[in-house]
Each structure stands twice: as structure tokens, then as C-alpha cells.
Structure 1
Amino acid sequence: MADANTRRRLTSRAARTAATVKEGAHTEPARSAGPEPLWTLFRVVFALSALSWGGLALMAQLELHYVIRERRVTQVQYSDFVALSWMTPGAVGCSVAVQVGYALRGRIGACIAGIAAVLPFFCTMTALATFYQASFIHTLAAPGLIDHFAVVLAVLIGITGYRQTRVLVHEPLEWAAAALACIVLLTIRGTASFVLLLTAAFLAGWLASPARGGKLEISLGPMDKLFALAVLALIALFATPLPPEYASRLLWPRLAGAGMTLFGGGFSALPVLKALFETPEVGMSTREFTLAFALSPASPGPLLNVIPFLGYLVHGWAGAVTATLSMFVPSGMLIVFARRHLHRLEANARFEHGMRVLRASTTAFLLTAVVHIGEHVALAPAHLVTAAFALVCLARFKMPVYAVYAIVAATYCAAHLLGYI
């Protein structure tokens, strides 16, 4: 009898162990061959970024390599990386890459991964800006072709806005925040409106939260407090109306502050960057600004790959480097800061409710971008055909954006050679 009981206990223990191992196979890394070498981390992230058109593509490739193939990051950890990237401002794909680097090699790993994620599209877009006066760029920059590119871009943003609205906007308060944000962005011009809008949306969600009580427990060291103050100062500089001469001189710090307000992916950046760059003081025309976004799909990386291009048009190579640093370094530091502290805030129901309303209001940035593009494109039959074609290709057949641009460009050039344009 004792032997039978012993066998049952051993069998039960073995079953529990097997179940634990089976369950943990999806949550624990199987490989523990030491820390990831920094050169390997740089090489892998650089290669993945160079082959990723769009931030979502980079996120998918990072998951495939580090979660599925190498198993250096668990699926649960990676899901947390993605969720936190959507909750904080900046380019989502680059933020995920920074978090992967931070998880593998700490702060130096975050820095290496961030550089590797940004470098491919920085080189490509700066090269396109360098040859801005070349004949093939002028062909791409033909006013008629740019209008068709703008139509494709508007359709792409509209599809993204529709999808984000379905995911992010559900409750009546969220719908109200999104509608009010649309009205504000379409009627009030100025950088201060962006910051005030996001702040008001978060406060509305915080105050309307059904949860009550609970304290936000955050312990910040001296360096963390200094960084938080620097972020607030950059946001205040971006939001404050300045005289024209100061607005031009402080363009790069204000760009860094603008990066702290960009939630919901790169498409929300269009109205923000338009308010910064398309001004008499900076001297960038509507055509140049639209060209930068139209050329974005020709380069790997997120839609924010336009930053080096815009910087180069303003101040050459120095402008391209400074603009890139201003946009991506603060957001990269912020995601590391958030990685260390925001998990404590996520447990607070009121904070999470405020973030949900804030994210719902960011869908208005996409609608505003579509309206701004439509203001500069004539309502012509050819443009409607392009819009219908882009809608079918992007929404129905899931074609890559650069492929749609290539077909539109080839069709336009053929029509031009045949004398139809």
C-alpha cells in the first residue's frame, strides 16, 4: 500500500512538473547562452530595420527573431514592450527596438538598438534629400505626380485612422474625446493646441474613471527627476507661442518637445510637423513638406523617417543629424524611463482610464492629416481614380505602400509620355 501511495505521489508530481514545463515554454526563454553581444545586437536590429517598411513591420521582425527564433525574450515580455510603446510618445517600432536592447543589455543595449533602428532610414532619407535637385527626384517631385502621391497618402492615413478608431474608441467618453479633438484640431492652429488637447483628454479620463482611491506610488531618483523636468521643459517650449525669430532659432528643441506629444504612430506627426516646419520663418513650402511624406515609403523605417529629410532641407547635413537626434533621442530615453517606472502606474485604474481616453483622442490627428492633405489637392476625376485604386490595393489586397506608389508613378509617367497629361 505504501508503495502504491508513493507511486501515486511521484506520478502526480511528475504530471505537475510536465504541466509547468509545458506552460512555461511560452513564457520562459529556452536559451541562456550568456548576454547578447553588443555587435550582434547592432547587426541584427540594423538588418531588421533595413528590411522593414513601417514600424509595424519592424515590430513583427523583432518578434520573429528574438521571441520565436532566438527565444531571448518571452512572448509576455514582448507583448509588454508593444503595449508600452503604444502608451508612450514616439515611433512605436523604434521604441520596441529600444526596449529589446534594454532587456538584453541594459542602457547600453538600449542605446545600441536605438541607433541600429534609426540608422538605415536616416541614411536613405538623407541621401534622397542630398540629391533633391537631381533629375529623378524632380521627376518624382512633379506637381501632378505629387498630387497623386498625396492622394495615396491620404487614403493610407484614412485606413489607419479607421482601424485605430475601431480598436481605441469604444465608450461614449472616448467618442466624445475623439470628436472634440477633431473640432479643436481643425479650427485652432498652433502647437499649444496639441499639448492642451492631450492633457485635457487624460484629465477627463482620470476624473471620469469609475475607480476611486488608490495612490500613485512612484519613487524617482535625482537623475530621474532631472529627466522628467527636462521632458516637461521641452513640451512647454513646443507649446508656447514664440516670436518668429525665436521660433526659428529654437526649432530643434521644439522638435524634441513635439516628439513628446506624438501618440498613435507616425501618421499623427503630420499636423504637428506641419505646424513646425511649414512656416515663413523656417522657409519650407507645402510642396517640399508633402514631398518628404510622399517619399517616405521609398525608405525603410516608420513614417517618421521624414525627419532627416526635413532637417536636411532646413540646414543641410547638420540639420539632418540634429533633427534626427532631436526627435529620436528624447523618445528613446523616455521609453527606457517608462520601462522602469510605468509598470507601477498601470496598476492604477484611474491612470489607465485616463490613458484610454488620451489614446482615443489621438485618432483625431489622423483625420486632421487627411483634411490637411485634401486642402491642397484638387477634386479631379484622375485623383478620384487614384484614391479608389489605392483603397482597393491597401485595404482589400494588403499591398505594400511602396508598391502602390510605384504603380501610380509608372502610370503617371506613361500617361505623360503618351500625351494624356
Structure 2
Amino acid sequence: MINQLKHWIIILISVFMFSCKGSQKTMTPRNLERIYNPASSTLHPEIKVYNISDSTSLFVERIYCKDLLYNQANVENKLLARVKVIYNLYDINNKQNLVDSATNTFNFEKNTNILYHTLEIPVKTSIGNSYILEVITSDINRNNNQYSFRIIDRLNHINPQDFMVTNTLNNELLTNSLINEKAQFSIKHYKEDFDFFTIYYYSYNFKTPDPPYMNDSVYGEFELADTNWICYVDSIHYSDFQEEGVYYFKTKNATLELSEGFALFNFGEGFPVVRTPDDLAKPLKYLGAIDSVQVSDSTGKLTKLAVDKFWLDKANNLDKAKELLKVYYNRVMFANMYFTSYKEGWQTDRGMIYIIYGLPDYLFKSGEEERWIYNPVGVGPGISFTFKFMRNPFSLNHYKLDREKLKTTGWDEAIKLWNSGEILYFQN
């Protein structure tokens, strides 16, 4: 079965490639609201960056076959999908100048025995710098594309992206940092030889952010690990990683400071989909009602009944309750897809705003910031949220809400609307 599902790593056949070294072109402001809109594209690629030498990084992109359109409009008269991948690399430390760019085109023949195609595209980077990688993936047959952004961090001697994590069952590089109880993996640094790591395990018990108008109270979440142990690279005991939580692989055990290493996350086999009664109950804290559904039982039936009652009480009829439930938990799932860092996406600052307010009307990325603006009619300043990238050893996708910049949030009105059985939409 594994062999049937195994993808073929496509050798790059580039029909057009160019370099932009020394260019003074910069990352220009543009509305990128569609990057977190799952309906804006049929493509939903997974992208992860690895540093593979002192001067090269590699972004690994997984494109699912079900997302592509195959047709015979080609000289070979074969069922082919045609994909174009453009990348732009911006230097964060140098006024976001464009330092490299290339365009690659690929043909994929229809194959019912595989689930996805994997691309491995090298990018020129250097130690001591950090970058923003913009990837534009296009389905040429469908005339549809998707924008993705990743931070490449090479500031330190050893960085999290220096460690290549491979699924030993199919010899594929991971395209995310997620593992589950069935995971089997190997670890290799591109230059250094590490015989062992000290594993620091943190059970999943992180704080859900407070409403945006309150001061930030999420801190000190990694002050004390639940446990730690030595993991030898040539004899990894995979049973040690079955519990849900955060696993930090530290290269040195001489100090408790988390400085050199990387993290893998076990959020459960179904993640990012919301499946269990607990998964349904926890995100309701944003509506100020977590106590009313916080019921524990061995089967989860009581929790599920409490969740159902919560939504029925809000909607007053079954059909409306189903609509509320569908929209709310779809937002939770997509928050998990887009915003997961060292905690599940729904539990981050961006996840909180995304779930309650929905898609922003305008989204601008600038360096290590994102600015979301909710203003569907385009009159006045609207409601604006600024998220700042926060460096930490665990994730390169962790952004914090800049609460000091907030002038108005409309949070109370938004929560009141949800609790009255109405869905909050800003976009037309």
C-alpha cells in the first residue's frame, strides 16, 4: 500500500528561470486577503523549508492530485496537469529587497496510484540572514493559483530549519512539523553530526488568548517541561512520541536553555479536522461559554450533548444550529491549517480573530508583520489588527497580536452577535 501511495519526486524541468541578484525591487504592499481564504483557490499545497548547505535552502512542496485539473490539451494527448511555481525571496534584514526569483513549470501525468506530487526547489540563502519566501503555485489548466509565504531563518549557527526530518516509511521529507502515534522518522543536520538529542516534552496545556482589548497574558508556556529524556538518532523509540503535545529536540543537554534544536508536534491523528467532543468544546471559550460545555466522561457523549445543547440554545432551531456549527468549526479547522505554531491554530491570536470575525477585507504583509483590516464598505478606518512575528525555538509561524495598536475591536458586539445565533461576516 505504501508503495502504491508513494509519490515520484519530480525532477525540475524549467522552461523559464531567471535570477534577480542585486535587484532593488522590494516587497510591495498589496491586498493578500485571499491567502487565508480556502475558497479562493482549488490548490492547497503544503510547503516546508529546509536548509541543505551554508548557501542553499530547499523548499519542499506537496501538491495533492485531487486539487489539480488533468486534461489532454497537449501535444502528447495524455491526461496531464500543468503546474507553474514562481518563488520570490526577500531579505528581511535589508529593506525587504528581492534577492532571488525563479519560475518553474512541471507536467504531471494522471496516476491513480498516488495521492500527491512533491517538488523540491533550491533557493540561494546565506548564514546570518533571514528571508521571506513567497511561493505562487498555479494550476495552468484551470487558470487558478495560490500564494504561500514562509520565513527562512538562518540568523544563528544552528537553526530549526537545518534539521531534515524524513518519513522512514516512504523516505520522504516531511512537509510540516506534525507527527502522530504511527509516525516513524529520521533526523539529519545538513552539516553537523548529532548522535543524540535531549527531548523536552510539553503536554498540550497552553493558554487560549484573551479578548483583543485585554492585555496579553500568554507567557511562560515553556518554563517547565513535563519530562525529558535522551533520544539516540540511530535508534529512535517511536513509542516515546505517542502522547499529544510538543516535543523539542535539543542538541545540547548542558543547559536547560532552549537554544539549538527543533520541535515536532503531535496534535492527534485527525488534526487539523475537528472530530472529538473535546475538539468541539475547547474553541467555544471565545464565546465565553466554555464552562457550560466543559463536561468530561470516558466516551465523550456527555461533552457532545453539551456542545449540541449550546448551539441549539443559541439558534432556537435545528437547521440554524447546524449552520452555526458548520461555519464556526470550519473556521476552527482552517485556523488549524493556516496558523498552527507550537499550539493548534485555533488557539493562536490569528486563529482567534479568524474564527470570530472571519476573513478580513484587506490583508497586508510587511516584513515580519501582518495587518488585517475589516472594512467591507471601504469607509473610515474600519477595524484593524496587526500581528507581529515572534521568534521562538519551536515555530516559525507564531505571530502575536499587537494589542497596543488597537483603537477599537468591536469584540463585544461580535460575541453578542454569535451568542444571539447569528454568524458574523465582514466580507461581502
Q: TM-score, normalised by structure 2?
A: 0.27
Structure having the higher Rg: 1
Q: TM-score, normalised by structure 1?
A: 0.27
Q: Which has the higher helix share?
A: 1
Q: Which structure has more RCO (C-alpha within 8 Å, separation ≥ 6)?
A: 1
